[in-house]
Amino acid sequence: MLSFTFSLFISLVVSHVAANPRPGRQNGTIRWVDCHENVPQPLQSTLNVTGTSFAGTLPKTLFCGEIDVPMDYTRPFDSATNNITVGFAMNRPRDPAGLLLYHAGGPGLDAASEAWFTALNISSDSAPFNLLQDFDLLAMNTRGLQFSNPLNCSFNTFFNNITFAFPSTKAEFDQYHAAMSKLFSSCGKNSTPKGIMNHTGTFEVVQDWDSIRAALGYEKVHFAGVSYGTFVSMEYVARFPERVGNFVLDAAIPHGAPFQEMITDQVGAINRLLLRADAFCLTDLTCPFHKQGNGSVVAAWDTLLARALKAPIPAAGCGEGKGCNTPVTPTDLRLGVSVIFRANPDFPLFNIALNESLHGDASLFAYQQQGDIRESIVTPLLCADFQVSGDLRTWEGFHNLSINSRVNDPHKIVYSQMWQIALMCGAWPFAVPAPSTISTELPLMLITSDFDLNLPTELTTFAWELTPKSVLVVRHGDDHTSILFPPPITPVQSIAVDFIRTGVLPGASSNEQVTVYPPGSTRGPIPGAYDVPTGSVAEDTSSIEDIR
């Protein structure tokens, strides 16, 4: 469980805010632009966009807009020296029921597509928005991304000769940090306007949101967002409480949680998922370990890791030019588990990977540099928010984080993404606000799933315990996030949609799929991995097996 040593209920305003008034705020003006020329990157291939333009017909409710905002909100807007443009897409029905803001997470995931999906009435992976088509849906791309002053960093350059996923020695740590430093300084050198790297964080993003809200003429805004979007929305809650309507925060990453706590929780979460893979195998006739019964998947992992620690395991499908490394080291295996279990864990794939590896081919666990977040827009956006300071910037301090998380790591998986964040952001050279918890008396809805790996469920509890008027909705199942599933609508999705529509928090309830904890109550223990069903009821999916 998370614990922290500083006071629990600090005021609504976080400390770095008080020091920075907002002279740059104003009711700016929106420039409506032609959506045909502003197609979100992830949709360009779906819509057969050639060049930059879409030639087909677009729905009348789809709008694309831009607004000029201060690069640095602590100084007044100035068209020449303190001005950047952020872009967004909206679905704008006639007589909207309110303004609903969406954040796609990441940080760095495209939000604009969601407004397109909704306007085009394409059932995307997020059924709730199909049910909220009568709201003005605002989907702004975070500054640093397409439409919003994109950063220009030299990816795929500085890690070319770094083949390991995370450092196991001081020399490797230094090599990793050096590459990270070069990457960050490339962002600083190539991005415009000059100075932007000190102003790409959540501190600014929430003001961009509020600038658009004001320009649209709304007094209040509702919010539905996942993952990293919860971090940004909590900051909005702290800074603009008078603007907060009905906020749904799904899979929370709280402000002010100490790195060590987050890492220890995440190492615990991946160990839980190993047990979930075992529980899944018990009901999966095609699982290679099915006949061996309870505990066999866990035993197979322990055996495999012990073997790899003696000698790396070949990966027949990998090697020079194949995009993955061979042989597979213990480090690769540990990262590989996380890759298969993160987001929507693929238990059938994991179980097959284990069996094949024990038969001498560890290709399914092999490290793929291309897929590593270290060389993506995620890093500069994330590191602008997460201060890694003091000892944590040294090998010893960084390494200690994983030594201390061993208490939660019976299966010696070691790696966690939070730990990688501490690693990557330890080389960040630009400004970062000091960490601080956020507490509010506003009634919010927080949602989590028991077996989330990306943001372990303890983190949502941490955030919820700082918001005494809020409800906690716990989905008993797997996956990172609970509102982004395709139709048909799930119980948790209906709960979220009803709250956004009415502002009425649900009362206490509990069944096999979901437990609702009302404000001020205490969350029960996280269920055992074998005590909650796996399969479609837990929202399990697989790339290799049809799970019904």
Ligand X SMILES: *[C@@H]1O[C@H](CO)[C@@H](O)[C@H](O)[C@H]1NC(C)=O
Please report, as ranges, the residues that interact with ligand X according to CB under 6 A.
27, 47-48, 56, 68, 79, 83, 85, 121, 123, 133, 152, 161, 175, 188, 190, 195, 197-198, 214, 217, 219, 282, 288, 294-295, 355-356, 359, 391, 394, 396-397, 400, 430-431, 530
Nearer to ligand X, 233 or 351 (CB): 351
With beta carbons less than 8 A apart as the criterion, state whether 106 and 421 touch: no
Quote the least distance from Cβ 28 to ligand X, whole Å. 8
Quote the least distance from Cβ 67 to ligand X, whole Å. 9
Q: Which residues of 403-424 are buried (b: 16+ CB within 10 A; e: fewer)?
A: eebeebbebebbbbbbbbbbbb
Quote the least distance from Cβ 129 to ligand X, whole Å. 11
Compute the distance between CA of residue 58 and CA of residue 52 in angstroms, rounded to an integer: 15
Quote the least distance from Cβ 24 to ligand X, whole Å. 12
With beta carbons less than 8 A apart as the criterion, state whether 207 and 243 touch: no
Which residue is nearest to ligand X, using beta carbons? 79
Is residue 115 exposed (0-12), middle (13-18) or buried (19+ Cβ within 10 Å)? buried
Structure tokens at 513: 């799929």
Residue 343, sorted as left (phi over 0), alpha (psi -120 to 50) or beta, turns out to be: left
Nearer to ligand X, 81 or 541 (CB): 81
| Torsions phi, psi for 181 (to 5 deg) | -60, -40
Quote the least distance from Cβ 543 to ligand X, whole Å. 17
Compute the distance between CA of residue 52 and CA of residue 109 in angstroms, rounded to an integer: 19
Of 152, 225, 148, 246, the C-alpha closest to 194 is 152
Of 238, 261, 259, 149, the C-alpha closest to 197 is 149
Nearer to ligand X, 8 or 171 (CB): 171
Quote the least distance from Cβ 544 to ligand X, whole Å. 12
With beta carbons less than 8 A apart as the criterion, state whether 508 and 494 touch: no
Quote the least distance from Cβ 396 to ligand X, whole Å. 4
Nearer to ligand X, 151 or 466 (CB): 151
Nearer to ligand X, 429 or 504 (CB): 429
Nearer to ligand X, 122 or 508 (CB): 122
Nearer to ligand X, 83 or 368 (CB): 83
Quote the least distance from Cβ 360 to ligand X, whole Å. 8
* Block residue for tokens 């996030």: 481
DSSP string, 485-498: -PSSPPHHHHHHHH
Nearer to ligand X, 127 or 447 (CB): 127
